[in-house]
Structures are given as structure tokens and as C-alpha cells.
Amino acid sequence: MSEHPTAAVTSVAQVAVDTRHFIGGERVASAETFTDVSPIDGRPLGEIARGTATEAAAAVAAATSAFPIWAATPPAERARLLGAVADGVEKRLEELAAVETRDNGALLRSHRRGVMPRVAHNFRFFADRLLKLAHEDFETRGHSQHVSWDPAGPCVLITPWNAPLLLATWKAAPALAAGNTVILKPSEWSPLTASLLADIATAAGLPPGVLNVVQGYGPEVGEALVAHPDVRRVSFTGSVPTARRIATAAAAHLTPLSLELGGKSPLLVFADADLDQAVDLAVEQYDNAGQICLAATRLLVEESVAEEFTRRFTERAARLRQGDPRDEATDIGPLIHPRQLEKVDGFVRRALAAGARVVLGGHRSEGPGDRWQDGLYYAPTLLTDVAQDSEIVQEEVFGPVLTLQTFTTEDEAVRLADDTRFGLAATVATGDQERARRVTARLVAGTVWVNCFYVRDLRAPFGGSRLSGVGREGGDWSFDFYCDLKTTVTAPNGWTDGRIMGENGRADHG
């Protein structure tokens, strides 16, 4: 099969992908479509159903109708079905990896070895966690108090383009495990693997309406979803401006939100650090062409080792190979979209005009083919001589662009690290364990890595501080968000005249 879009099904990397919505267990077309284009070579991948408020209402209605049955499904059965979804992901791992690479331009080797196995693990982890979910009962004046997690209802999950299926299942797995129904709205720049997930879920036996997928643009279908009165949870990963619009739309019905937003994370390199390890950590920030919210894009290096660090960094980064992400030898692929390329290049040009100095890169780079696709490749870039209050230091670029600043004291390092509106993550490179404790305690961040990067355990809470987000997901924190917690208090003396008897036999009416 060659890549060729049709009205309902397209072939991508020799995998058939349905381009319609998935609502109530059925494929649903829209009156209009939008074109999904590969960032690798600019070729159209398919004409995707373009949702509106009509499809949003239909998806919420399907999820609302399916909710009572799914919520009443015993936890062990829900866990079994989610395990079957994980099995389906593993069976189609190569297909999912190939399609997502074609769709968003991330490395095929990363999708094969890390991303798609983690997708399956998301389902297995939360299925297993569901069966272990418990809180010890406690006693108050002889009264027994029991905590339980009740399914909340239909959940809208809005996911970004940089890690489409990984982040979709990071949200969908706990929401489904908790007994909720889901409406998944993928990014219009990378919608294809969400459609394949719907097929996998159906084959695994999820009842109709439990998982729905609605495609399209945020203003046309996303806002209608989050503003719907029957939606009981909204989880969003993306930009701060979009989060503000989502929060406004959800406010009318006080729909609870979980928001994982942007970052401008620091990497603090102290003179006592293993410098080669610190350089490796810094170069790792170019992963996925810098299109990672957690990336430590601000390198803060102790002045006494800054020159040597910079020398080693530029030598190491210069060896990165940029090109077709389907090639096993490629280290950096393209940016996702021409608009993203213009955004990244604009940040760099304005920084240079403001006095920044290019140490590495600072320009568009040649890609592996024709002129159109060459335009989406941006060279790994390092800028120095940047002011702390400058745009390039304060705003998220979301591309392969790092800045380097120096410090002389621990206090100065922490002050620079914390001096942005964000607080998603931070990385510390030091050989001093006590310093690591002092510094991490003062950093404003949802996650801090010490002498490592991007190590994430699903048992841990994840989210950001300040403008980097609201709330935490992961482990039991996910169930806390996707459920309504209930406390049941039972009297020690039984029931008398229809009232619960309290202390000294008196009826406690609250």
C-alpha cells in the first residue's frame, strides 16, 4: 500500500488509518475535512474529519449514555479490559511507531524503543493501580470512616502534538480505569494514532461510547467539548494561552481542570559536577528537536567551568546528526509545522537583534530532501550573552534552542533558575549531595532531576507550578483528579429510628 488519502481511510507507512471521528463505537464523518501533512517531507497524509459543535455534542452524549454501565463495571473487569488494550498496543507497536513518526516527525527509534512500550505500560500500570486503590479506614469517637473513589463522569482529554499517543494514554488510562468515559481530542497536527487507539480499544472489548475520539480545531470543536454541561473533568496539555481559553469555557459549569502547560526549565551546572555527564544532560535537551515541555533550555553554568563546559558542549552537539527521523542514525528530526519553524526562528532572530551571541547553530538547516521539507529543520542552537529579562530567557521557544548564562554563587544560581513565570521542571548537576539537597529545596518546579533527566515513574505526581500548570496527575493523584472522593461515616451503635446514633446515644444530625 502506498500513502494515498481517501474519503474515510488513508494509508500511512502502509498502515490503514480511518480519518473519521470515533463516536459511540461508530465511525462518523464531518461535512468538512482538514489536511494532515507530514513534517518529514510535506506530503499530505490524509483528509481528516473536521469536528464542530455538532460532533462535540454527539460525543458527549455517547459518553454520557455509556457512563452508568462502565462506572458499574467491577474494577477487576475494567482492569482486564485495559490490559487487553495494552496487549493490542504491543501487537501493533511497529505500526503505531511508524505512523506517529510520519505524523509528527519524532524519531522512529524512540517510538519503537521507548514511547510505544510506555503507551502499553500506561494502561497496565493504571489497571493494576485501580485494584490496589485503597485508603485505610479511620475512627472518630468510635465512628468508622471509609474513603472511596467514585467515577466522576465523562472526561474531555485534549492532547498536544509532540508526544500524541503517549500523552493521550497518560490521561485516558487512569480516566478509564477510574470508571469514567472519555472524549479524546488530539491535536490537529498529529491526529492519526488517536484514531488507531480507537480501533485497538474496540478490538480489546471496550463498550461503545467508553472511548470516543473527536478531531478538529480547538475553537471549532475543543471549546464546545470543554464548555458542555455534562462534562465532569477536563485534562489539557499545551500552551498557557489555550489553557486560559479552556478555563474560561469550563468555568460556567465549574468543571474541574488539570492543566499541564509550558516550561522554561533550567539546568544548573556546578563546578563540582561531572562535566562530561553535565554536557550529556545538556545535549539531551535537543531531543525531539527541542519540542519537549520538560526540556531544560536554560543552561546555568558556574563561571569557573563555563569555558570548558561550552567547549565540550559544542564539540558534543556538533556530532548530532539531523535528518529523516525514520533513519536509525538520525538524532534530530524536523519541527512539526511551518508555523512552529517560523516561531522558533523568530525567537532566535529577535534574540540576536537584542545582543545575543551565537555559539552554535542559530539558523535553519538542510533537511534530507526537497526545498519544502528543508524549511522544517532547525539547527541545534546555543545562544549566550543573553539578559535575564530578555524574551529568549523568559519565554518558551519549543525548539532546539538553548541559552547559556553563568553564575558565581549558589544563591545566584537559584535566583536565576527561579526567575521566570514557569515552574515545570529543573535539572541539577553537582557532585555535592548536600548542595543537591539545598538547591532542590529552593527550586520552584514540579519535578527536579539531580544528575539525570527525564526519569519518570508513573507512581509519582506530575505537573507544574506557576504558569506551568494546575494540579497533579500520576499514581493515586490521577485517581484523585478523575474521581469524586467520598467519605462514608458509620456509627458504632447501629440504627435507631432511621437515624445514625452518635456519642452517648444521641442522634448526630450535623
Q: What residues act catalytically? A: 260, 293
Q: Going along 33-131, which residue ranges are E strands?
A: 33-37, 44-49
Q: Quick one: cell of 66? A: 455509556
Cα 260 to its chain centre, rounded Å, is 7
H or E element that contains 407:
strand 401-407
d(CA 101, CA 90): 17
Q: Are 39 and 376 in contact (CB under 8 A)?
A: yes
> Under a CB-based contact definition with an 8 Å cutoff, are residues 66 and 89 in contact?
no
DSSP strands (E only) in 219-352: 233-237, 257-260, 266-269, 298-302
Q: Long-range pairs for 416-420 at CB < 8 Å and ≥24 separation? A: 416/266, 416/298, 416/300, 416/388, 417/266, 417/268, 417/298, 417/300, 417/443, 418/442, 418/443, 418/444, 419/388, 420/264, 420/298, 420/393, 420/394, 420/466
What's at 373, amino acid-wise?
Q
Beta bridge partners of 269: 301, 429
Q: Are 21 and 62 in contact (CB under 8 A)?
A: no
> DSSP string spanning 477-509?
HHHHHHEEEEEEEE-TT-EETTEEB-GGG-B--
Q: Which residues pair with 23 in a beta bridge?
A: 26
The SS3 assignment for 236 reads strand
Q: Strand 155-158 vs strand 182-185: parallel, antiparallel, or unpaired?
A: parallel
Judge whether 204 and 172 are in contact, CB under 8 Å.
Answer: no
C-alpha to C-alpha distance for 336 and 162, rounded to whole angstroms:
8
* DSSP symbol at 286: G
